[in-house]
A and B are shown apart, each in its own frame.
Chain A
Amino acid sequence: MSTTTTQPPAPGPGPGPTRSDLRHGSLPNRFPAALLASCAAVVAGVLLAFGAFGFLLWGLLTAVSYAVIVVTASARVEGGRKATDRLVTALVYGCFVLAMLPLASVLWTVVGNGLARFDGYFLTVSMNGVLPSMDAGGAYHAVVGTLAITGMATLISVPIGVMTAVYLVEYAQGRMKRTIMFFVDVMTGIPSIVAGLFVVALWIMLFGPGRTNGAAGAIALAVLMVPVVVRSSEEMLRLVPQDLREASYALGVPKWRTITKVVLPTSAAGLTTGIMLAIARVIGETAPLILTAGTSAVSINWNLFDGQMMSLPVFIYSQVRMGGAVNYERAWAAALTLILVVMLLFFLARMIGRLFAPKAS
Chain B
Amino acid sequence: MIELKNVVKVFGRRTAVEDLTLTVPPGSIYGLLGHNGAGKSTAIGMMLGQVWPTHGEVRVGGYEVTAHRQQALQRVGAIFEAPVFYDYLSGWRNLEILSHYTGPTSPARIREVIDWVGLTGREKGKVRTYSHGMRTRLALAQALLPDPNLLILDEPGDGLDPEGIHELRLTILRLNRELGLTILLSSHLLNEVEQLCTGIAVLNQGRKVFEGPLTGIRSDRHWLRLRTGDFAAAVRELRQAGLITDARDERLIELAPAAGPEQVVRRLVELGMAVYEIAPEEPTLEHFYLSLMKDSRVKPPGLL
Partners in one complex: no
B residues in contact (CB < 8 Å) with A: none
